[in-house]
Amino acid sequence: MDYVILSMTLLAIGIYGMLTKRHLLKVLISVELIATAASMNFVLIASSLNKALGEAFLILAFSTDTCVTGIILALLVIASKKYGTCDIRKLAKLDQYETIEGEEEESNSRIEEDIV
């Protein structure tokens, strides 16, 4: 069995998810899969070459990865509460119609028309 191909397959699944899924949580899961694929390359190659530096570096990389995930999840919760959707295409359209509070209803109806 080859770990390089295994991690490449994981990477491919992650890229597939990023390109096809519209829900923000799914995109985040795809990013996690890509990060796992990269980690797997680091760990298993370092392990097979008997080099501990790769493993030590990866433990530090895990904490960075968790921080990034925490921030993205915070954004997800805020987007969900503020706009009521986690669809990235709807969220991408929002900035075109970002208005002051008084015009919110008009803006929402225009967004709905656009989406329909």
* Interaction site with other proteins (CB under 8 A): 1-6, 8-10, 12-14, 16-17, 21, 23-26, 28-30, 32-33, 36, 39-40, 43-53, 55-60, 62-64, 66-67, 69-71, 73-74, 76-78, 80-81, 84-86
First-residue to last-residue Cα distance in the chain:
49
In the bound state with other proteins, the residue whose beta carbon lies nearer, of 45 and 110, is 45
In the bound state with other proteins, the residue whose beta carbon lies nearer, of 85 and 107, is 85
Contact 94, 107 (CB under 8 A): no
CB of 83 to other proteins, least distance (A): 10
* Cα 32–Cα 46–Cα 68 angle in degrees, nearest 5: 25
Q: How many CB atoms are closer than 10 A to CB 90?
A: 17
CB of 28 to other proteins, least distance (A): 8
In the bound state with other proteins, the residue whose beta carbon lies nearer, of 77 and 115, is 77
Contact 3, 45 (CB under 8 A): yes
CB of 103 to other proteins, least distance (A): 18
The values of phi and psi at residue 74, to 5°, are -60, -40
In the bound state with other proteins, the residue whose beta carbon lies nearer, of 29 and 94, is 29
Beta bridge partners of 87: 23
